[in-house]
Structure 1
Amino acid sequence: MVDGSYDYYHYMQDKYDDSGWGCAYRSLQTICSWFQRQHYTTTPVPSHLQIQKILVDIGDKQRSFVGSKQWIGAIELGFILDTLLGISCKVITVSSGADMPSKAREIAHHFDTQGTPIMIGGGVLAYTLLGIAFNDRTGACAFLILDPHFTGADDLRAIQRGQWVAWKPADGRAAAGGDLFMKDAFYNLLCPQRPSMV
């Protein structure tokens, strides 16, 4: 599981309407909060606008991207973490949602060695992965998903009751509805690496 604390960022937080397009931004904010809470950085968690400006400044996006409602993915999150915090990332690519269990050992190794939250991007939804449970004997696994698609007030009971932060089987349902991992979509798992501290 993730090692340490983090803040849960989700749709409509801070009275900012990103419903339908901001899930990866919110996952990035959650990951940035983890690095802040573990005292790796004092850099504030970036806003959607700051994220967009960084991607334009590094040449990844056109100027028209700033202020838009365009999606971003795992690769863009990697650019932001590198530029903003000096954090390097590894990417685990999965060709189909049906293949997510085949990466269980690799994901478990990440949590054992790095302990950072993982951003899952692909299909039409982005999530933050906080842990994995894997049975070596049967191959069964479950994913501890922090789902940024929640739109309500910051009420822990409502979040837990609605399964917005919950263990989910690989073939489970997303809290917002539909398959958690779609068989006809590919996924990139962005695995931030802890900085080398002296």
Structure 2
Amino acid sequence: MSGLLTNIHESKELLKDSGNTYLVSGNYDYYHYLCDGFDDRGWGCGYRTLQTICSWMTYNQSCGTQVPSITEIQEILVQLEDKPKSFLKSRQWIGSFEVCLVIDKLYDIPCKIVHVNHGDELQTIVDVLVNHFDKFGSPVMMGGDIDASSKGIMGIHVGHNGASLLVVDPHYVGKEKTKEFLFANGWVKWQRLTDFLSSSFYNLCLPQVKAQNKIR
């Protein structure tokens, strides 16, 4: 559809052997810095993660809505009066709340927002994420860190030594080579909950919709 790599979490290097793994269900495209020629380096990670989620909607819902550009996302937020007109064509970042608003506007799909005050409290949302991927299987947006960076969460693994999140990082700049290349260079990875910044807050946006092939 877009010429971008699809389902980059499916690299064989990402397999987890022990414990239980819950993954995104359905296809999505990997959106990242500069992937469409628009230079959003340093501020566009939230938009790119939103675009990745929107691509999942396009693949897995009978909506007929195409993935919006960064400019179109800004226009939607201004129309919704969440942002002032000065937001248009700016380099202001967006987080999980704005992602929730755009998904609701474009697809009429509600999202659940989960707030975690500190990274060392992420263990408290393990069951929430397990239930989400088991019930819905839609991609999750995660914002936070000290620099307010955003990322996609495509799964969770619960093992004997704790839980890990399957992170799809939109900060990559370059021409995609292979899924294995992206994994080898850390753009898609399993990240243990204990490796997230303990001093940072985190907000997660969980679209409350199933892929059509997951509906029973």
TM-score of the pair, normalised by structure 1 = 0.90
Which range moved further: 27-36 or 160-169?
160-169
Tell me the secondary structure at the aligned position of residue 126 of structure 1.
strand
Structure 2 distance, partners of 1:140, 1:38, is 31
C-alpha contact 2:135 2:210 (8 A) present in aligned 1: no
What residue in structure 2 maps to residue 67 of structure 1?
Answer: 89
What residue in structure 2 maps to residue 82 of structure 1?
Answer: 104
2:148 is equivalent to residue 133 of structure 1: no
Shift of 1:131: 0.3
Deviations 1:132-171 (A, max 9, x none): 0113xx5601110000011111112431211211212123
Shift of 1:38: 0.9
Structure 2 distance, partners of 1:154, 1:40, is 28
C-alpha contact 1:74 1:119 (8 A) present in aligned 2: yes
2:202 is equivalent to residue 187 of structure 1: yes
Shift of 1:121: 0.9
Shift of 1:98: 1.6
Deviations 1:41-60 (A, max 9, x none): 21110000000000001100
> RMSD in angstroms over aligned alpha carbons?
1.8
C-alpha contact 2:26 2:211 (8 A) present in aligned 1: no
Shift of 1:40: 3.2
C-alpha contact 1:40 1:195 (8 A) present in aligned 2: no
Shift of 1:32: 0.5
Shift of 1:196: 11
Deviations 1:3-34 (A, max 9, x none): 11100000111111111100010000000000
2:185 is equivalent to residue 162 of structure 1: yes
Structure 2 distance, partners of 1:168, 1:18, is 25
Matches within 5 A, 1:32-181: 32-123=54-145, 124-135=148-159, 138=160, 140-156=162-178, 157-172=180-195, 181=196
Shift of 1:93: 1.1
C-alpha contact 2:138 2:211 (8 A) present in aligned 1: no
Tell me the secondary structure at the aligned position of residue 4 of structure 1.
coil
One-letter identity of the residue aligned with 2:155:
G
Tell me the secondary structure at the aligned position of residue 91 of structure 1.
strand
> How many pairs does the alignment contain?
188
Structure 1 runs of 4+ with >4 Å offset: none
1:195 to 1:129, Cα distance in 2 relative to 1, 3 A: closer
TM-score of the pair, normalised by structure 2 = 0.82
Structure 1 distance, partners of 2:31, 2:153, is 13
Q: Percent identity?
A: 40
Structure 2 distance, partners of 1:154, 1:14, is 12
Q: What stretches of structure 2 of length at least 5 have no aligned partner?
A: 1-22
Structure 1 distance, partners of 2:89, 2:137, is 33
What residue in structure 2 maps to residue 6 of structure 1?
Answer: 28
Q: What stretches of structure 1 of length at least 5 have no aligned partner?
A: 173-180
